[in-house]
């Protein structure tokens, strides 16, 4: 299987120590047949969504605002039904090996989700868009932080050790985190008792259902606060919080900043 490099590369592709960063746009209707890459990739969705399919029919929808890891040499295909724009980060093998000596988290395709990575990626794209020598230094530091954070937080829900019913429960939470879903509702979807669900969810994912819901809502709020001018009250409602006060308290607890201060810092970059 030969490596494939399709898509329109923007002229401001940048090479920094250990990484190469390129902005690519794929037209609506483009299909990339099964291929692989010589380097591991981090792919950050900027606009549009696409479907990535691996062996045995496994697939994932890659959406804007989500960072995905793709291992080196993994065969996959892509369908860009409505087109997409992505920031593609090639990771040199020596750089990746420095991280994987200490963890096996980055051993399969997976989304990387954390509040830290959401913030770091916003800063990364800002620095990538600048045209000055200092931006390369900043890019290198941000990329190393993102890679380390990814090793800590890459989604383990696809691992074979996780029971199928628990993967179903995890996927249901991911798909419905903006709704006020209950533990009983998730347990019904998975076909287990809610007590068993709560215990096994924490055991396999090192977090509770409630903690995961709150984390996903704050990650979504980070994107809205940094990319829109929506009022904080509107962001709170859009992210499933009961009111602005509750939203601000939860946001500050997880991010370490108020939503207003977070917006100021992002927009001042």
CATH number of the domain bearing residue 34: 2.60.120.280
* C-beta of residue 5 within 8 angstroms of C-beta of residue 36: no
Number of independent structural domains in the chain: 2
Q: Say yes or no: 130 and 212 in one domain.
A: no
- pLDDT at position 62 is 86
Q: Say yes or no: 27 and 102 in one domain.
A: yes
Structural tokens at position 243: 């009111």
Q: Say yes or no: 96 and 212 in one domain.
A: no
On whether residue 37 sits in a domain, the answer given is yes
Query: For 33-37, 182-186, 203-207, which range has the lowest pLDDT when averaged over its residues?
Result: 203-207
Q: Which of 153, 183, 204 is the last residue of a domain?
A: 153
Angle CA 73–77–81, to nearest 5: 150
- Mean pLDDT of all residues in the chain? 85
On whether residue 1 sits in a domain, the answer given is no
Q: Say yes or no: 53 and 136 in one domain.
A: yes
Q: Say yes or no: 148 and 118 in one domain.
A: yes
Residue 143 and residue 161: Cα distance in Å, rounded?
A: 30
Q: Say yes or no: 116 and 238 in one domain.
A: no
Q: What is the pLDDT of residues 61-118, one digit of tens each?
A: 888 888 888 998 999 999 999 999 999 999 998 888 887 776 666 777 888 777 777 7
Fill in the DSSP letter of residue 154: B
The reported pTM is 0.68
CATH number of the domain that 236 lies in?
Answer: 1.10.10.60
Q: Which of 153, 172, 190 is the last residue of a domain?
A: 153
On whether residue 254 sits in a domain, the answer given is yes
Q: Which of 123, 153, 183 is the last residue of a domain?
A: 153
On whether residue 159 sits in a domain, the answer given is no
What's the burial of 146, exposed, middle or buried (CB within 10 Å: 0-12/13-18/19+)? buried
On whether residue 3 sits in a domain, the answer given is no
Residue 207 and residue 205: Cα distance in Å, rounded?
A: 5
Range of the domain at 168: 164-267
Structural tokens at position 110: 């997976």
Q: Say yes or no: 135 and 83 in one domain.
A: yes
Q: Say yes or no: 173 and 142 in one domain.
A: no
Q: Is 123 helix (H, G, I), strand (E, B) or coil?
A: helix
Q: Say yes or no: 90 and 14 in one domain.
A: yes
On whether residue 129 sits in a domain, the answer given is yes
Q: Say yes or no: 12 and 130 in one domain.
A: yes
- Greatest Cα-to-Cα distance within the chain, rounded to the nearest angstrom: 57
On whether residue 15 sits in a domain, the answer given is yes
Query: For 5-9, 172-176, 193-197, 209-213, which range has the lowest pLDDT when averaged over its residues?
Result: 5-9
Q: Say yes or no: 116 and 19 in one domain.
A: yes
Q: Say yes or no: 134 and 35 in one domain.
A: yes
On whether residue 89 sits in a domain, the answer given is yes
In sequence order, the β-bridge partners of residue 200 are none
In sequence order, the β-bridge partners of residue 112 are 67, 154
Q: Is the pLDDT of residue 3 over 50?
A: no
């Amino acid at each position: 299987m030969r490596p494939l490099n399709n898509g329109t590369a923007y002229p401001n592709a940048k090479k920094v120590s250990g990484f190469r960063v390129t902005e690519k746009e794929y037209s609506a209707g483009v299909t990339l047949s099964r291929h692989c890459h010589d380097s591991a990739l981090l792919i950050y969705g900027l606009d549009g969504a696409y479907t990535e399919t691996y062996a045995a029919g496994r697939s994932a929808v890659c959406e804007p605002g989500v960072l995905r890891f793709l291992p080196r040499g993994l065969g996959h295909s892509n369908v860009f039904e409505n087109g997409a724009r992505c920031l593609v980060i090639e990771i040199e093998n020596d750089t990746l090996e420095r991280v994987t000596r200490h963890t096996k988290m980055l051993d399969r395709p997976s989304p990387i989700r954390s509040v830290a990575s959401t913030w770091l990626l916003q800063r990364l794209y800002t620095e990538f868009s600048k045209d000055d020598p200092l931006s390369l230094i900043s890019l290198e530091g941000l990329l190393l932080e993102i890679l380390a954070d990814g090793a800590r937080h890459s989604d383990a829900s696809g691992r074979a050790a996780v029971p199928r019913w628990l993967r179903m429960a995890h996927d249901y939470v991911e798909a419905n985190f903006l709704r006020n879903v209950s533990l009983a509702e998730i347990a019904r979807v998975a076909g287990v008792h809610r007590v068993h669900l709560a215990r096994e969810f924490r055991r396999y994912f090192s977090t509770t259902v409630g903690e995961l819901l709150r984390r996903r809502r704050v990650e979504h709020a980070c994107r809205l606060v940094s990319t829109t001018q929506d009022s904080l009250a509107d962001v709170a409602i859009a992210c499933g919080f009961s009111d602005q006060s509750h939203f601000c308290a939860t946001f500050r607890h997880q991010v370490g900043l108020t939503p207003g201060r977070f917006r100021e810092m992002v927009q001042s970059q």
